[in-house]
Amino acid sequence: MKNNQFAIAPTDHETRVAELQRIRLLQPDELTTLTPNELWTKLLLRIHIADHSQALDHEWLNSLLATPDLSITDWLSQSQPMTNEVFYLVALQILQFEPAIDFSIHAPIDGMNKIQLPMEQHEQWTNNDIIDAFYLLLNTRTKLGQNLLDRLTSQGMFTWTYSLPASEKPLYFNGKPIASFDPDRFIREVVYVETDMDTDYDGMADLVKVEIMRPADTNNGLKVPAVFTASPYNQGTNDKWGEEITHNVNVPLTHKDPHYQSPNEPDFPMSYQKHQVNGESQTASESFSSTPAYTLNTYLSVRGYAIVYASGIGTKNSDGLQTCGSPEQTDSMKAVVEWLHGDRRAFTDRTSGIEIHATWCNGNVGMTGRSYLGTLATAVATTGVPGLKAIVSEAAISNWYDYYRENGLVMAPGGFQGEDADVLAAETFSRTKSPADYRRIEKTNNKYMKGIEAAEDRLTGNYNGFWSHRNYIPNVDNIKCDVMMVHGLNDWNVKPVNVKNLYDSLQEMPNTSKLILHQGQHIYINAFRSLDFSEMINLWFANKLWDLDNNADEILPDVLVQDNVQPETWRTYTNWSGNHSTTLFLTDNALTPTEPNSVSAVEFDDHQDDKTYHAWCDQQSEWAKALLNDMDGKFSAHFVGTPLDQDWVLRGTPTLKVRVASSADHGLISARLVDRGRAKRLTISPVILAKDGLELAYHFGKDDLREFELQKQFTDAKVISYGHINLQNRHDASTVDDLKANQFVDVELPLQPVFHTLKAGHQLELIIYATDYEMTLRGNEAISYQIAPEHCQLIIPNN
Amino acid sequence: MKNNQFAIAPTDHETRVAELQRIRLLQPDELTTLTPNELWTKLLLRIHIADHSQALDHEWLNSLLATPDLSITDWLSQSQPMTNEVFYLVALQILQFEPAIDFSIHAPIDGMNKIQLPMEQHEQWTNNDIIDAFYLLLNTRTKLGQNLLDRLTSQGMFTWTYSLPASEKPLYFNGKPIASFDPDRFIREVVYVETDMDTDYDGMADLVKVEIMRPADTNNGLKVPAVFTASPYNQGTNDKWGEEITHNVNVPLTHKDPHYQSPNEPDFPMSYQKHQVNGESQTASESFSSTPAYTLNTYLSVRGYAIVYASGIGTKNSDGLQTCGSPEQTDSMKAVVEWLHGDRRAFTDRTSGIEIHATWCNGNVGMTGRSYLGTLATAVATTGVPGLKAIVSEAAISNWYDYYRENGLVMAPGGFQGEDADVLAAETFSRTKSPADYRRIEKTNNKYMKGIEAAEDRLTGNYNGFWSHRNYIPNVDNIKCDVMMVHGLNDWNVKPVNVKNLYDSLQEMPNTSKLILHQGQHIYINAFRSLDFSEMINLWFANKLWDLDNNADEILPDVLVQDNVQPETWRTYTNWSGNHSTTLFLTDNALTPTEPNSVSAVEFDDHQDDKTYHAWCDQQSEWAKALLNDMDGKFSAHFVGTPLDQDWVLRGTPTLKVRVASSADHGLISARLVDRGRAKRLTISPVILAKDGLELAYHFGKDDLREFELQKQFTDAKVISYGHINLQNRHDASTVDDLKANQFVDVELPLQPVFHTLKAGHQLELIIYATDYEMTLRGNEAISYQIAPEHCQLIIPNN
């Protein structure tokens, strides 16, 4: 087990003393009246809150080892001076590490180093040293995936802070608010924010439902920031409907007419009525008991951040239709930020006209969430809305064309063949969950759904007006807030190109931007044992939302990347891409650094026999395996580099240049980059170390503690990047080029960005093929492709 | 989706009115002053607690359909009389069922029937009819796996009951206590119960730690029953140590000497000192914040049952050693019941001698828990300890020989090859978690561990003194409490023979016994959507522990079995085994109902080539697949029945009689019964329908909502029973018979009990083989076996 902490704020001795006193772990006179051992014992007993008697205190000290052979009580009775070994042997036990498993009782300092726990060692320990080391210990993570302070919090140590006056909150420790807000007294209320649109054609401005959970202290004058998660899923989903309208992908690609214009998407009314205001209320009329929660938000809630969820237009109890990423959906979420910031109207319900204000909010808003949720955080940020100070954009789409299309091709998010914008709109249109409301809107919605199905244009796969409305990248220069991006390098659902484009655009802006790349797929990382992500967000939000001057931007790394070889290893960088690149040439099944002379052409056949075709359609993973093993090039062309002499770190967006001909007047080229080499790789998904093992507060909220581990079995290869392009979109995704059968054309195909270490002994492999059973249309046409290798290049960015 | 409810107590109209008034859903005058539609509307609005304004009430009624085209508000405005269709269309929506997915809005009564929801229909609805139907509705399960009353509870509807005086608690509704105990005010305390043993040889009686969570009302005079879960795992486990000492099973079976005596297990001291009493305290000195919990207990806790956990001897903060199912371990758990019942001493800590009594307990104790936990519930029940009124024994071992041995063979629990009693003792010896305590006991424990490793006797696999100490079946006649057994028909870990033997023994006793057989493996069933298990336990425990006269024994079925063909289908029976049996004969690869004439002998070879052997040792599931497909009988003999004309229900313990010869002077015979037929079968494990989707109370405890579904893929066969026997244990497991190479011997092998429907068209198949890579030793000896089919029979109990 290895610990990685980035949220510990450097702190001087005086601050440590003051903060320990503030959280009542230290009394002012103790620094002068006690010996170091007495002070240490006092601190130890103060953090053991289960015991309320001397007998139990004694038993506890007698249950822990101070040396390999003496318990703490036995060791104390010998009146020896404190040593590094004693302090850290006890520290390891306090941090829940286990002798023989995590460390040796005979070498605690080695254990601390091996686990990567911070230490302060001394020749002779003074009281100040005890204080400093103990302070650091409180900020050090236990084996259970939370720092010691948070573990003590989850044991109830700081419930006394609940009753502190609002004026003394939040209570900060090491630059972060601690859990001083009583979750049993949270106020849960619902308001309806009025938007500037009428997407359900009823003549009235759409209202959107907002669910708020805020500390009771906000009723006593405390103003708190809001952490807002925009989730179209939160009011329920229509999974069966989505399945039913999922598109058939077993259809052929066709020749595109360069003059074809895809239909426009439906317009919404320009004029509509605002809701009449009939009065104002200080209190909400509607409450709720629970709503699907992001556990990071739950962690933050007891630390004083108000937590806000809204599902936006087209969801249960809101007006409007589901537009899948349109500017209207963005604006419906922006409206929530505006209300929180005091710039927009909300009502206590949808009919009475009674207004209600977010008087409890300090006007600072952060947004969080993964996938669609993170997408909307990004989208709202690109509006530059006042009040939005920071977003944590996780696994977020930055351009819906990069989600459902690619270079003139219909492209599935990994695992969701046949999904498209209209399908997602249907799945999230939760007004179905209010059956009478749905009966009234059903026809309007069905008509609108037909409109977006046409406008998304699966016929050509081209970039058009529909997609440009759903591309947030051109508006990045409007962003006024700071941005933390989190993305999985193995996310085949929201592919890494989404975060790469956002990251690159932000590098030209003055805003703070932070990037975390992990080895997962489409997941949250806040319950990882090896990384203090929740503490990082708490530190960062303390700065952005509580306006605490804690140097968060300087403390947190700009780019943090999880290693793909060593488990539990996170490295810091200053940017994503390396400064150099390597050009590789294609020759007889090989990748070479030197330009080859003449190379014979390569041909492969995209057509499969019926049985194989149906089997691969049913089990796409079987196709993916077959592709990796198709070394004789039946339906793909393989180019393999020589085994590496040393590790090679690939960083950034690889580019493939190909000269290719299709035997038909249409066609596509796909490519995969493969890390070829036998190794025990990280698990695809994090392993659950302890179900509900992470307590987010005292008796309030739990999460499953997780971590990537090395797989038990060796594997021979891993796909690290890929790309696809329609041979009729050689210039760009919106421009159709002509194509004739057997005409050689040059295409330049950017592959998914990477940050990957190819181990010494491994080989880089390029696979060029056509139909991608996991992502593209698959019509199983009788088409063959010819590659002219001497006109192909693979450019790999690296250190 | 199909609903199955067994815990609804039949109730007359007067009781319904009284109970609805008691939970404040009905005011006394409303039956006379309101019209049926007004009364219905009033009741609807009272269960919609999120809204606090007329506007929101109106919006809510306007969001639900009363007819296919009218909302409730629209329908009410037409002043039409209530109909069955209106009442149940609304009811379906209240119960969270969804139009188009779960039912048609045009046929709500059909929908209610299809989902198996209880109904009361009327030609003309009176106020009394409204009341009665609404009462029934509150007891009806929603789509989300809890009855409507519990759903309202989880929304906070009954928090007002928290402040009722202790004298008015518990508050019963339909024969079950409702959640009227405030979880935020639970008292969590620790005591140390003194036992009558010294299993760690320190001269002092062992103390065991007990964790108690009880309502604050118990400090105001309310006496409550205790639900006690005895879990050796609760203080932590030593998984790595367990792995390290797991036994090598890749060793050959050997010839047994009939005169061999296995060593006795270590004795514990007969004399030791009791702890001195130095005083008494009304309050505990130690508290705890959380302990691993069974979610059924959490559900019960807010309904007033005190929840008690103890890990027993040999665990963290307790004295003693881990003995794996010995009488001492049982007695350490029995001691906890005795303390709860007022018959035994406990202290506030392990050293001070301050006594503490369970003054808050009404003296009635129930025990719950699965696997080892349920095993100890069974074991404690067989002591006949006063105070223990009922146990829910889930997936419990009734005889450890049936867990780690079988008919003279070392036998692994499914999935745990090489585990044995000593390994489990090491895994659960959590005194390691107090490192200084462990250093003091390490040598004593290591010596004891050597003793039990010898006494468990992996050499012979025979039944001996060690195993007889761990067989609870002979003591079943001591049981004084009522017993509910729950077991998975596909539990290969704690195999069904364990519950069958307990069930059979109990049938000869006057105690109430109940049996639930589900289609799962080694799992809990309290979060299934299709079965009201938690309500059943609440009803039963209300009777057993709160002494409520609610006819629980009559209401609950004696035997409840989940169907293996239809999902979400639970059927009631009066006993497990059928009254008849069918004898099948073995002939040329076939099972026939008529005795064949001469049949040629069958031979198979147990030896595998090295590559196959190692592959199967590594991946036992590959061996299991190969066994099913070994139709030409290379290493097994297959006998297949004819396809069935009609469904055939197999109930009870199948028996196989075999005449067999081994080519060596030792050997074993294994058998599997297979349901051979292409079908979509139930998923192996329940599918998670909603993570944390089941709220156990208001903001207190969640569980993942689960259900078995039909698998997406067809499968060709499923193993439904199996058995193994050492050819040297032809008489019984403790008697060794001699065996010579090639000597034909007769063995009678009871297979695992079944309750299984073989569908029409399916075939029953018997596979006879030797080495079971999943469960037996596997030495890969060059042994062949001969079967004499004309002397073999398979006897199948059935209806």
Tell me what ipTM this predicted complex has: 0.95
pLDDT in tens, B239-287: 999 999 999 999 999 999 999 999 999 999 999 999 999 999 999 999 9
**Alpha-carbon span B442 to A297, nearest angstrom:** 44
How far does B379 lie from chain A, in Å, by closest CA? Answer: 28
Residue A575, token pair as written in the block: 């940017």
- Mean pLDDT (whole number) for B373-381: 98
Is A98 in CB contact (< 8 Å) with chain B? yes
Is the pLDDT score of B114 beyond 90?
yes
Is A433 in CB contact (< 8 Å) with chain B? yes
Reply yes or no on whether A491 is catalytic: yes
**Alpha-carbon span B378 to B352, nearest angstrom:** 33
**B 619-678 residues with CB below 8 A of A?**
none
Contacts of A53 in chain B (CB under 8 A): 285-286, 348-349, 352
Q: DSSP strand E in A333-431: where?
A: 346-347, 354-355, 361-367, 388-394, 405-406, 409-410
The one-letter code for the residue type at A619 is Q
Return the exposure string of B97-112: e unless at least 16 CB atoms fall within 10 Å of the residue's CB, then b.
bbbeebbebeebbebb
CB contact under 8 A, A56 and B349: yes
Give the pairing type, strands B715-726 and B702-707. unpaired
Is B243 in CB contact (< 8 Å) with chain A? no
Confidence of residue B597 (pLDDT cuts 50, 70, 90): confident
Contacts of B62 in chain A (CB under 8 A): 436-437
**Radius of gyration for the alpha carbons in chain A, expressed in angstroms and rounded:** 29
Residue B518, token pair as written in the block: 């589900």
Contacts of A65 in chain B (CB under 8 A): 435-436, 439
Is A480 in CB contact (< 8 Å) with chain B? no
Of A52, A155, A288, the CB nearest to B50: A288
Q: A12: how many CB neighbours lie within 10 A of its CB?
A: 9
**Alpha-carbon span A281 to A358, nearest angstrom:** 11
Return the exposure string of B165-193: e unless at least 16 CB atoms fall within 10 Å of the residue's CB, then b.
ebeebbbbbbbbbbbbbbbbebbbbbbbb
Confidence of residue B588 (pLDDT cuts 50, 70, 90): confident
**Alpha-carbon span B516 to B523, nearest angstrom:** 13
Decide: A140 and A152 in contact? Cβ < 8 Å: no
Q: Backbone phi, then psi, for A671, in 5-degree steps?
A: -145, 145
Q: Which residues of chain A fall below pLDDT 70?
A: none
Residue A175 to residues A138, A146, A364, A550, Cα–Cα distance (Å): 13, 16, 18, 5
Q: Which has the closest alpha carbon to A311: A395, A385, A235?
A: A235
- Mean pLDDT (whole number) for B212-232: 98
- Class in CATH terms, A181-515: alpha beta
Instruction: Compare all CA atoms of chain A with the CA of B62 and give the residue at the minimum distance.
Output: A436
Is B699 in CB contact (< 8 Å) with chain A? yes
Decide: B727 and B255 in contact? Cβ < 8 Å: no
How far does A663 lie from chain B, in Å, by closest CA? Answer: 37
Q: Which residue has the tokens 């130690």?
A: B286
Decide: A518 and A489 in contact? Cβ < 8 Å: yes
Helix (H, G, I), strand (E, B) or coil at B703: strand
Is A743 in CB contact (< 8 Å) with chain B? no
Q: What is the pLDDT of residue A599?
A: 81
Decide: A73 and A118 in contact? Cβ < 8 Å: no
Residue B88 to residues B77, B128, B733, Cα–Cα distance (Å): 19, 16, 60
**Alpha-carbon span A109 to A87, nearest angstrom:** 10
Reply yes or no on whether B522 is catalytic: yes
Q: What is the pLDDT of residue B596?
A: 86
Decide: A7 and A538 in contact? Cβ < 8 Å: yes
Q: Backbone phi, then psi, for B282, in 5-degree steps?
A: -85, -20
Reply yes or no on whether B491 is catalytic: yes
Taking the model in full, what pTM does it have? 0.96
CB contact under 8 A, A348 and B53: yes
Cross-strand bridge partners of residue B347: B192, B355
- Mean pLDDT (whole number) for B166-175: 97
How far does B615 lie from chain A, in Å, by closest CA? Answer: 13
- Mean pLDDT (whole number) for B680-702: 96
Decide: A673 and A721 in contact? Cβ < 8 Å: yes
Q: A601: how many CB neighbours lie within 10 A of its CB?
A: 13
Decide: A640 and A735 in contact? Cβ < 8 Å: no
What is the Cα A69 distance to its own chain's centre? 46
Is B53 in CB contact (< 8 Å) with chain A? yes
Q: Which has the closest alpha carbon to B340: B177, B545, B489?
A: B545
CB contact under 8 A, A349 and B53: yes
Residue B480, token pair as written in the block: 């004084």
Say if residue A420 is exposed, middle or buried (CB neighbours under 10 Å; 0-12, 13-18, 19+). Answer: buried
Interface test with B, best of A61, A237, A290, A440 (most B CBs within 10 A): A290
**Kindly report the CA angle at A49 between A48 and A52, in degrees rounded to 5?**
110
Q: DSSP strand E in A625-696: where?
A: 636-640, 648-652, 655-662, 668-679, 687-695
**Alpha-carbon span A643 to A641, nearest angstrom:** 7
Kindly report whether the peptide bond that precedes residue B435 is cis, defined as omega within 30 degrees of 0: no
Helix (H, G, I), strand (E, B) or coil at B410: strand
Q: What is the pLDDT of residue B411?
A: 98
Q: Which residue has the tokens 């705890």?
A: B288
* Percentage of chain B modeled with pLDDT above 70: 100
**Alpha-carbon span A403 to A424, nearest angstrom:** 12
Confidence of residue B600 (pLDDT cuts 50, 70, 90): confident
Dihedral angle, C-alpha A279, A281, A285, A290, nearest 10 °: 130
Q: Which CATH architecture has domain B580-678+717-798?
A: Sandwich (2.60)
Per the prediction, chain B carries an average pLDDT of 97
**Alpha-carbon span A270 to A254, nearest angstrom:** 38
Catalytic residue among A154, A180, A326, A371: A371
Of B71, B352, B435, the CB nearest to A436: B71
Q: How many residues does chain B have?
A: 799
CB contact under 8 A, B436 and A59: no
CB contact under 8 A, A59 and B351: yes
Is A65 in CB contact (< 8 Å) with chain B? yes
Residue B785, token pair as written in the block: 């076996």
Residue A545 to residues A299, A526, B700, Cα–Cα distance (Å): 15, 19, 30
Q: Which has the closest alpha carbon to A315: A427, A240, A193, A443?
A: A427
**Alpha-carbon span B779 to A723, nearest angstrom:** 51
**Alpha-carbon span B587 to B597, nearest angstrom:** 9
CB contact under 8 A, B63 and A99: no
Contacts of B184 in chain A (CB under 8 A): 184, 699
Residue A203 to residues A439, A457, B417, Cα–Cα distance (Å): 18, 29, 70
Taking the domains of chain B in order of start, what are their residue ranges?
13-170, 181-515, 580-678+717-798
Crossing angle of helices A421-428 and A435-456, in 10° steps, is: 170
Which residues, 6+ apart, have CB-to-CB distance to B679 below 8 Å? B565, B714, B715, B759, B762
Say if residue B71 is exposed, middle or buried (CB neighbours under 10 Å; 0-12, 13-18, 19+). Answer: buried
3-state SS of B573-619 is: ECCCCCCEEEEEEEECCEEECCCCCCCCCEEEECCCCHHHHHHHHHC
How far does B56 lie from chain A, in Å, by closest CA? Answer: 6
CB contact under 8 A, B289 and A154: yes
